[in-house]
Structure 1
Amino acid sequence: MKKLNFFFLINIFFCLGCDQTESREPLNSKKNDFLNKSVIRNIQINKREEISFLKIIEKDSKSKYNISNKGFWFKILKSSEKNLKPKTGDEVEFFFNIFDLNGNDIYKDDNFNPIKYVVDKEEILPALRYGVKELRTEETGIFLMPSFLCYGYQGDGEKIIPNEPLIIEINLISLKTSNN
């Protein structure tokens, strides 16, 4: 009798243990609602920035602007005959100036100390990282950078407000290729 009760209990455990559990719906959808609103807000910010950039390009109709696959526009102010562009691991030195979309100085480089940077190996503002890679040695470029490549939704806490697109001028003064 004890063996029969034991087998009976084991069969009950197997039957109950193999039952499929059903997933349940979230108790609240606040997180999904927040994410959906965030997506819509970012789409609106990107559209507004793109319209601002197109107005700048239209006013500067004599210049040829290129669009990068990273989402920014740029033009070369001073061309160079050199063929090499920086790639990962190369050491570069450059100067840069940051302006708002009205052309007002935000951060002005006094051309005393160039920024030294190992391409894609050091932390730097994404706008500068991508901008430097579009230039050849001794070239100067103007870059219309969307806020997501600059200081984004936080700003810099000093002069750059949240979600502010920027105009960045970069002068690549030297390039030392890596031996990769």
Structure 2
Amino acid sequence: MKKTIIASACVAMLAACSQQATVKPEGVKLDNEKSKLSYAIGMDIGASLKSLATEFDRPAMMAAINDKLDGKKLMLSNEEAGKVKKAFFQQQSAKRVAERKELAEKNKAAGEKFLAENAKKPGVTVTASGLQYEVLKAGDGAKPKESDYVKVNYRGTLLDGTEFDSSYKRGKPITFPLKGVIKGWTEGVQLMNVGSKYKFYIPADLAYGEQGAGSTIAPNSTLIFEIELLGIENPDNSAK
């Protein structure tokens, strides 16, 4: 519905523009609701076009808009226009895939280099899976099982120090099923006693792998987590 309304408004706005083609951009005044609405919709259109990350031939674009609005014969048939757009979006898709692959390879190499050096540091333990950790604070409570729910405080960062998540900042610990998180967490937290605090260095294949997560965690990112195990809290409310 929103897209339909915007599209209709765009037609109205562009029709007005075609009737006032002699008005220069610097002469535009936003002195009434119509002009403000037109400019606001133009902002949306501009943002959408900019998101395509390519250069446009503005005269050709405006010519097509005016020809369409004025009912003139178009320079491209719908079939020809469709082929041009399809080819463009295929190129854009291939470009994004290539860029993502390049980034994944770069992150994988950076992660492997970091972990190789980090493994040599005093106090760092490496497990059979490649997970690395160091004990920041020892605890004397129980150790959770994979089937348990655990209550933790944590802070997650990338190799460059960028913090992407933190329960400390939110001011509230979280409780979750241990088998419902990334492999590095599932393995690592089971090593901890309640009351302890560990720092984990998690290889990409034990984190989010080539898929990544959202816009912050890129493909093949090695992640660093400081985790404080506060308790074991299962659904039956029997806290440990």
After TM superposition, is the score higher than 0.5? yes
Corresponding residue of 2:128: 69
Alignment equivalent of 2:181, drawn from 116, 124, 129:
124
CA distance in 1 between partners of 2:107 and 2:213 (Å): 18
CA distance in 2 between partners of 1:44 and 1:99 (Å): 18
Corresponding residue of 1:155: 212
Please state how far the C-alpha of 1:49 moved relative to its aligned partner. 2.7
CA distance in 2 between partners of 1:117 and 1:129 (Å): 11
- Cα pair 2:108 2:220 within 8 Å, conserved: no
Corresponding residue of 1:51: 113
- Cα pair 1:86 1:133 within 8 Å, conserved: yes
Corresponding residue of 1:112: 171
Alignment equivalent of 1:171, drawn from 223, 228, 231:
228
2:154 is the alignment partner of 1:92: no
Identify which of structures 1 and 2 has the higher relative contact order when contacts are C-alpha pairs closer than 8 Å and 6+ apart. Answer: 1
CA distance in 2 between partners of 1:145 and 1:86 (Å): 19
Corresponding residue of 1:19: none
- Cα pair 2:178 2:185 within 8 Å, conserved: no
Equivalenced residue count is: 132
Greater share of helix residues, 1 or 2? 2
- Cα pair 1:131 1:170 within 8 Å, conserved: no
Greater share of strand residues, 1 or 2? 1
CA distance in 1 between partners of 2:230 and 2:172 (Å): 11
CA distance in 2 between partners of 1:46 and 1:136 (Å): 31
CA distance in 1 between partners of 2:218 and 2:105 (Å): 18
CA distance in 1 between partners of 2:159 and 2:109 (Å): 15
Cα distance, 1:46–1:68 mapped onto 2, change above 3 Å: farther
In structure 2, the gaps of 5 or more residues are 1-103
Secondary structure of 1:97's match? strand
- Cα pair 2:195 2:229 within 8 Å, conserved: yes
Cα distance, 1:115–1:70 mapped onto 2, change above 3 Å: farther
Q: Identity rate of aligned residues, in percent?
A: 23
- Cα pair 2:156 2:165 within 8 Å, conserved: yes
CA distance in 2 between partners of 1:48 and 1:139 (Å): 29
Secondary structure of 2:111's match? helix
CA distance in 1 between partners of 2:112 and 2:161 (Å): 17
Q: Please provide the CA RMSD for this pair.
A: 2.8
